Each structure stands twice: as C-alpha cells, then as structure tokens.
Amino acid sequence: MKTVPLSIEEWQKERIKEEEIMPFLKEGGDFIKEDLIRKAVNKDYKPDKKRLEEILAKALAIETLSLEELSYLMSLKDPQSWARMEEAALAIKRRVYNNRIVTFAPLYLGNFCVNSCLYCGFRKENSQIERKILSRAEIKQESEVLAGEIGHKRLIVVYGEHPQTDLSYIKESIETIYKVKVKTKNGWGQVRRVNVNAPPLNLEELRELKKVGLGTYQVFQETYHHATYKRVHPTGTIKHNYLWRLYTMHRAFKAGIDDVGIGVLFGLYDWRFEVMALLLHARELEKEFGIGPHTVSFPRLEPALNTPFASGSSWQLSDEDFRKVVILIRLSIPYTGMIITAREPKRIREESLKWGITQTDASSRIGIGSYKQGVMRQEEKKQQFILGDERSLDELVGDLADKGIITSFCTAGYRCGRTGKRIMELLRSGQEGIFCKLNAILTFREWIDDFASSSTYQKALLLLEKEREEVRCRYGQYLPLLEEYYRRISRGERDLFF
C-alpha cells in the first residue's frame, strides 16, 4: 500500500513523543531547579583566598564542581581572583588538551524551518531569507571543496527543522559526506568526522543516526530559563516544548550515542543563570549515564537579516562577561571540549585561547552552498546570522603557530573507540593528551603538505620540530612509531594514527 505523505502540519504534530520525556522527570519536574539556581546566583560570600584555591585545586584535578563551588567563583569581584581563575583555566586546558586546538568547519545543508525562534534568521516567518536544501550532488560538491581545497577533516553539519530535512535526509547527507575522497597535492582529502547540529530527534531516530557513524550530536538548549524559553520559541511550534529539547541528550545516551554537545545561546537571559544551568545539565548526564558532555558551546546572539530581536535583546553579553562565562565553564566542567566559533571576532577568539577553549572553526561559510560557489563575502540572505571572523584556515593555522599552538585535525578518538566513558577517563587522567599530541603532529603534517601557503608551511614545520622533540624527551616509548608514521605521511600516505 502506498503511504500518503504527511502535510507539514501533520508532520509537526507527530514529532514530540511525550512517552520519551515523562520517564525522565523526577517528582514531576525537570532537573533545572530554578529556585536553587537563583539562590546560588544571588549568594554573597566573604572573599577567602583559601577557599578559592581549594576550588581551583578540585578543578585542576579534573573533577566537576558543585553548584555551590561555581556560585562561590561567580561571586568574586576582584580582578586578582579572576586573573587567578584565568590562569587555572588555561592550566586545565593544557593538562587535558595540551597545546592543541581542534579545527572544523560548519556545513549548512538546509534552511527550511517550521519553527519561529525569535532570534534566528531561518525562522519560518522570515520572508527575506532565500531558502534552499542541498541535493546529494551539491553536498558532494561542498564536501569536495572542504576536504580537497581547504583541507578540513571534521565538519559540523547543520539543519533547520523541517520534513524535507528529516532523519532520512540527515542520514543520507552524512553518508554522502563520508564517501567523498579527493586527490590533493601530496595525498588525498577526506572528511573523517561528521558532527551533527540538528533538531531534537526521537529515540528510534537516534538509534538510526548512530548507525551512520556520527561524531558528536549537538543540541543547544538556547536558554535554560523556562519562561524565557517559552517566550522566544512561540507557542504552537515544536521548539516551544522545553522538555522535549532538554531531554534530547538523555534519549541520545539511551540510543547509544555517547558523544553529546550541549550549549546556550548567550544573550537570551542572565548569563549567570545559564552557566549554572549548564553545570546542572552536565552533572545530570554524569549522574544518569556516567558521562558528561563531550563539548559545551557558548554562542553569543549575533545580528541576522530581518531579525530585530537578535540585535535588541537586553541580555546581550558584554565581552567582559563573555570572558567570565568561558572561564567558569572551563573550571566547572573541566574535562569538556569547549567550542568558540567564527561568530566571534578575531580579537575575542585570540583572547579566548587563554581561557581554555579547545575547538574552533575557520574558512567558515554559513550560506547554503557557499563553499562551492567560492563566496568570499557573507550572504545575509542565505545565512542564519552574520559571522564576526572570516579568516581562512591557512590564516588561522599560521596565527596559532605564531603562538606555539598546533592545529589538530585529529579524528582518531572516536574511530578507535575512545568515546563516551572511556574518553572521559582518558581526559581526566591526562592520558588522552598524549594520543592527541601524537595525532595532532601527524594530522598537522598531512595538512601542511597538502594545503599550507609557503609562509604558514615554514612556521608549521618549526612548530612540528618542537613537538617531535617534546615527544622524544617526554614520551620516548611512542617515538619510533611516531617517526615511522611521520615519514610515511611526508611521502603521501594518509590517515595513520594512534
């Protein structure tokens, strides 16, 4: 019997499965206890250096902080305490992730959406946006540019919420990307990890998604403040349902996806509340599944075409408070990966390196189909919002190399089963840092051989020499294999990893 396609309205009505929310609720409520958070936000403490050092020692031991400990840190006012916290944040980042920054690119696949999020250029009422969904051939072309011309190995694919970009489209697009293999100057380029930023899926869909080998599954709560959430996601839309979104990661774990990314869109509500809520979310996942978030994202609200809300919010986050947000997340969820995107201007992205961020994008184009078209300018009409930093990957790699930071294209972790609980243990013990270092060296060499400009190449080679020397001195047992892989890569072999 032929199945009749659902209308968009019917499709929307069937999305939310109450039976996949209710079992998670405790005493009828969710885990974002607003009264607790409010008390923690408003509490005054007598400044006490010993207390500060005790809390920092706990964070440096890569232990998740309590709400009370975060509340103490947040209450501090003096610049000296914040300088000390910044120092500790960087030390934690170095301990867990060493001197590497992982890079990736966003790939927007479709901007049709049934929701009306007040802050987003893709909301359904926005008639000024050009709507498009990439075909399989177009996805292939975009991926060929990303993997074969720019040299990205890691993508985050992004979708609106719409029946035309439902699970079957998401799966097909990921499969298409993984199949791309392009000849490069000295070897070949391929996307090795596809992370997904998609609307909340149900349990069955998440099980299906797992089968196509996704990296991290990201869904941002946007705001954890219940009343604000309801206000900015209007009644009658799928996204209006706070709990459906809040428990997405619970469903993901149940479906066997154990690399999950959470986040807040800062600028919708009080940042202090949101940082506390992020910690509660991480602690809830740790308690229920033994694993916290693989990444935390903290985008700030950016202007978007024909979207006055995005420029007029009274909760816009200042640069000074943004610094506090990043430091506090680093300290309170010390093992987690922290992503800063090209939404932020270059100056903030560079400063944030001192606050403990671990991942960033480059050469980003967020218009649908913009990579293939070689679009150099931003295209407001096709974008969800406007980017603040348009540096190319080559420029970013060179700028980071100037600071002694190695750009890592490593995607080995999840392909060798270093995910979920295992990766958390490795990160906490500092063990993952060693693998990361070795794989960063190898993938960096791959990338510079294929894609670097001559000035970036020279800087990168010097950095690689230093890195290999460090391995020789500190991790001698890995040196023979590292050197063998390194030689083979410089002769054109690819994808050798620890």
What is the DSSP track for 301-319?
P---TT-HHHHH-TTPPPH
Task: Return the half-sphere exposure (C-beta side, CA atoms, 13 A cut-off) of residue 490.
Answer: 9
Q: Is 252 in the site for ligand SAM (CB under 6 A)?
A: no
CB closer to ligand SF4 out of 160 and 215: 160
Told to check if 302 binds ligand SAM by CB under 6 A, we report: yes
Specify whether the CB–CB gap between 119 and 307 falls below 8 A: yes
| Cβ atoms of residues 126 and 305 within 8 Å | yes
What SS3 class is residue 38? helix
* Residue 57 neighbours by CB distance under 10 Å: 11
Min separation Cβ 201 and ligand SAM, Å: 10
Q: Report if residue 161 touches ligand SF4, rule: CB under 6 A.
A: yes
Return the residues of window 108-147 that contact ligand SAM according to CB under 6 A: 119-120
Report d(CA 13, CA 403) in Å as an integer. Answer: 52
Q: What is the DSSP string of 408-460?
A: E---HHHHTT--HHHHHHHHHHTHHHHHHHHHHHHHHHHHHHHH--HHHHHHH
- Choose among ligand SF4, ligand SAM, none what residue 301 binds, the Cβ cut-off being 5 to 8 Å by kind: ligand SAM
Query: Is residue 357 within the footprint of ligand SAM (CB under 6 A)?
Result: no
Residue 267 burial (CB count, 10 A): 23
CA 253, CA 203: separation in Å to the nearest integer? 9
Chosen residue from 88, 105, 117, 482 binding ligand SF4 by CB under 6 A: 117
How many residues bind ligand SF4, per CB under 6 A?
10
Note whether 427 binds ligand SF4 by CB under 6 A.
no
DSSP SS3 for 244: helix
Which residue, 92 or 198, has its beta carbon nearer to ligand SF4?
198
Pick from 336, 384, 419, 443 the residue near ligand SAM by CB under 6 A.
384
Segment near ligand SF4 (CB under 6 A); pick from 10-18, 112-120, 175-183, 418-426: 112-120
- C-beta of residue 220 within 8 angstroms of C-beta of residue 176: no
| Min separation Cβ 229 and ligand SAM, Å | 12
**Beta-carbon count within 10 A of 222 CB:** 26
Judged by CB under 6 A, the residue of 97, 104, 108, 122 near ligand SF4 is 122
Cβ distance to ligand SF4 smaller for residue 88 or 238: 238
> Does 160 sit near ligand SF4 (CB under 6 A)?
yes
Report if residue 385 touches ligand SAM, rule: CB under 6 A: yes
The item of ligand SF4, ligand SAM, none sharing an interface with residue 123, based on CB under 5 to 8 Å by kind, is ligand SF4
Of 265 and 329, CB closest to ligand SAM: 265
Q: Write phi, then psi, for 237 (nearest 5 degrees).
A: -100, 160
**Closer CB to ligand SF4, 88 or 201, in the complex:** 201
Q: Is 406 in the site for ligand SF4 (CB under 6 A)?
A: no
Q: How many residues lie near ligand SAM (CB under 6 A)?
A: 21
DSSP string, 380-421: GGG-SS--S----HHHHHHHHHHTTPEEE---HHHHTT--HH
- Using CB distances below 5 to 8 A depending on partner kind, what does residue 206 bind out of ligand SAM, ligand SF4, none? none
Q: Which residues contact 216 (CB under 8 A, 6 or more apart)?
A: 195, 196, 259, 260, 261, 294, 295
Among 197, 295, 359, 364, which residue sits at the site for ligand SAM (rule: CB under 6 A)? 197
Q: State the DSSP string of 346-372.
A: HHHHHHGGGGT--EEE-S---STTTTT
Mapped onto helix, strand or coil, the DSSP state of residue 266 is: strand
Binding to ligand SAM by residue 361, rule CB under 6 A?
A: no
Task: Report 218-257 residues binding ligand SF4 (CB under 6 A).
Answer: 239
- Vertex 354 angle, CA 352 and 360, to 5°: 40
Residue from 86, 138, 161, 446 touching ligand SAM (CB under 6 A): that is: 161
What does the block give as tokens for 143?
């991926």
Three-state secondary structure call for residue 110: strand
3-state secondary structure of 138: helix
The nearer residue to ligand SF4, 165 or 336, going by C-beta atoms, is 165
CB of residue 301 to ligand SAM, shortest distance in Å:
5
| Closer by beta carbon to ligand SF4, 122 or else 269 | 122
Nearer to ligand SAM, 316 or 458 (CB): 316
Q: Any contact of residue 219 with ligand SAM (CB under 6 A)?
A: yes
Per CB under 6 A, the list member of 222, 344, 446, 467 interacting with ligand SAM is: 222
* 490 membership: H or E segment, kind and range: helix 479-490
Instruction: Give me the residues that bind ligand SAM (CB under 6 A), please.
Output: 119-120, 158-161, 197-199, 219-220, 222, 265, 299, 301-302, 304, 310, 343, 384-385
- Residues of this chain that interact with ligand SF4 (CB under 6 A) are 113, 115, 117, 120, 122-123, 160-161, 199, 239
